[in-house]
Chains A and B, each alone.
Chain A
Amino acid sequence: MQKNLFMENIARTDRFMSENNLDGLVLYALDPFRSGNLRYLSNHLPYAGCSFLIIPARASREDYSLLLGVLGDQYRYVAFAKEESWVPYVKGWRLLGQIRNVFKEYSLNSGRIGVVGFKDMPRLFLQFFKEEFPQSFFVDITNPFEQMRMVKSTKEIGFTRRASEIAWTAVDTLKKEAKVGLRENELAAEIGRAVRQSGAEIRNREHTLLRIVSGQKTDLAVRPLASVREIQLGDNILIQICPAWNGYRAEIARTVRVGEPPEERAKFFEKIYKCQRRILSGIKPGVKARELHKMAQATAKELRIADFVCYDFGHGIGLSVSEPPFLDKRDETILVPGMILVIRVGGFIPKEEGGLISDTILVTETGNEVLTAKDHGTSLAE
């Protein structure tokens, strides 16, 4: 991995540390789906335990230290981590001792240290930091760091475009392959292979977050696991997938029907679709995330689906599956060009009907661009 690919991110982080008066930055990550902050600066994705990245203020490019493992039993993975990441100093043995050494080397044993991933970190580590470095002041800097990453660069947008194309491959494959008698898991296998062959990032295990559920009355939300249920005529099939390309993810969700649905089911889905379109029409620079949330709620109420909506209306997306801004009543973030959002509407009436749609949206100078749109997904599978 060439570090020059990361120069832009490093420069941004340098400024961030200076603006926040940080003497050092510690990034913690464990779960590969939520490790975007760490990857942003290292290209490393944890795969067998947690990882820390430690950076002193005004770091030279050789000062980045990546430490792997839960209390240091991951030394076996150092060779691969070195190959995958551009970070020059990678250690995987006696983790706490290594952290102690790096802090000493970078003179971080006093001063203001920002911690990214603070709340997800096992308390053990927080206790260690506080006890070991009593002169240092550790602050949770996760939100400001993620906000710094909200506006994507041209390169990042390009990666998301590619991920969006791959996401669309999943829907295309579903339409092509879904047929009466095929099992959900067989359909998932076809889709999974198609997206991987299209370039979706591959790790040790399922990495695309593919979820599929089928049913006559799709009153179930999208399950985490495909079942062995056979697809039947009249089924709704819900698909949600979030593949990555070069680490950057795009999400798409569609509801596809097998055969003609009953009229009332089609009507319910039309409302879901209409609600999403209405939210999309409000996405433009200058709008606040909380205003979008308010608008989404009002639209759902107007369309009489508010009681049945069971997904959040959306959030940012990038190196992590879910990033700021959030369509939430408390999020004051003002949208600016370059932000990438997932806009999602999904719900179900218990034991009757359900539907889900989501797309990946780029905020542009004049409004927005739907990166995953080709159609809204109610077309029939044969």
Chain B
Amino acid sequence: MERERFKARQKKMREAMKENGLDALIIYAGKQWGAHGWRDFPIRYLTGYDVAGPHALLLFSTSGESLLLIREKWDLARAKTVGVVDKVTLSTQLAERLCNWVDEQQLKKGKLGIICPGSNLRGVDLLPVFLAEPLGSSFKGRSVLAQHLLEDIMTIRDEYEIRMLRESAKIADVCTEKLFRVAKCGVTEQDLFTEIFYTAQKMGAENIHISVTTGFPNYWNHPPTDRALQEGDFLMMEISPRFEGYMTQVVRMGVVGDISREYRDLFQVIYRALNAAISATQAGTPIKNVFAAAQQVVAESVCGILDPTVDIGHGCAMDLNGTPLITAQAEKTLRQGMTLVIHPIVFFPYIGTSFMLGEYLVVQDGAPEVITTPQESLISII
């Protein structure tokens, strides 16, 4: 069953290659953290092999044969066991091996697709110099970016993926409980990270991404620091546990000490904006309408600002910050089976502080299914 899943994905990839006139495809990935999450997911999604080293290549040849190139001798046996791929080859000289493969495929003048994760930028060559330069010398045909082919295949999650995402969402919920149990005056952002990571890992998460901001006024979420919580602080934390490669995301908010009526009212703005966006999320809806729904609530509140240049959510599963981006300018429409985190961030200029709240959901024909347990009020941290 496992093998069939990956074979089916590769079949889709080959069909997409054919439709787009690609003679061959180069997929670059590695155990690195890039601009938008872990950069290992294309190979993991297509073969089941979670890349261990910083650089790896998955190559689809003209005949449709798949070849996985890795550099780690110590992981070769596992790659061969776990990876659903026609051939696995060990090579410490990836660039040289890649050029040989281009020769073997007689690709000198063909059309080559390139997938390189880590950016939502289209039409930009992000292959590292150590691969791109030798490739450019040995391949004289046309190379095109093919990131969108993979995105199109990945965007609609199947039953297995939704099951994994539910597991991740459960972990996110338990981590949220833990967050508000351990948070108190004197506890540092790093202490919070330690306890939440511990909780997530105990529940089977293979990793977790956490960004946090504390203080008043606050600034954008960042890696946890040694800053200790103080009376009157705002606490905002983004929690994204990774389970079997799949990630959900929640954003949670609290205040250290008593919550004034004013803050409760401001929380209602972000809460209503989030829920307006969630209500607008259904298959067939233009993505920009989801942004507009949140924007309308914030505009009506008078006191808050929703930055039109920042997304209020994004696709999220094996790629943490995936497509589609929920922006004011998004051109596509939502489709059933997409999974999204929606997390508007509202800036209140007169107190100089941002509020951010986020839930994870599955797009349906009708109302979406929110699979994280929603936060309905500002939490008081005593």
**Interface residues, chain A, CB within 8 Å of chain B?**
30-34, 46-50, 69-71, 73-74, 76-77, 79-80, 83, 118-124, 126-127, 185-186, 188-190, 192-193, 196-197, 202-206, 219-226, 228, 310-311, 346, 348, 350
Contacts and interface: CB of A to CB of B under 8 A. Distances in A.
A123 B127 CA distance: 6
Given A47-B223, A122-B128, A346 B74 contact: yes
Contacts of A119: 128-130
B207 A206 contact: yes
In the A-B complex, the 7 residue pairs with the closest CB atoms: A49-B35, A123-B132, A119-B130, A189-B201, A80-B222, A221-B74, A31-B32
B187 to A, nearest CB: 13
Contacts of A124: 124-126
Given A123-B133, A193-B195, A202-B224, 9 more contacts: A48-B35, A80-B220, A126-B133, A189-B202, A196-B190, A221-B74, A221-B78, A224-B52, A346-B74
Contacts of B222: 47, 77, 79-80
Q: Is the interface of B mostly helix, strand, loop or mixed?
A: mixed
Contacts of A346: 74
Contact of B202 (A186, A220, A350): A186
A122 B202 contact: no
Q: Is the interface of A mostly helix, strand, loop or mixed?
A: loop
Contacts of A123: 125-129, 132-133, 136
B323 to A, nearest CB: 15
B73 interface: yes
A124 B133 CA distance: 11
Interface in B203-239: 204, 206-211, 219-220, 222-225
B194 interface: yes
Contact of B33 (A31, A76, A188, A228): A31
Interface string B29-62: 0111111000000000000001010100000000
A83 B121 CA distance: 28
* Most chain B Cβ neighbours within 10 Å, of A124, A127, A190: A124
A228 B243 CA distance: 12
Contacts of A34: 32, 54
Contacts of B77: 219-221, 348, 350
Contact of B197 (A73, A74, A80, A196): A196
B162 interface: no
Nearest to A126: B129
B119 interface: yes
Contacts of A49: 34-35
* Most chain B Cβ neighbours within 10 Å, of A118, A188, A224: A224
Contacts of A83: 225
B139 interface: no
B194 A193 contact: yes
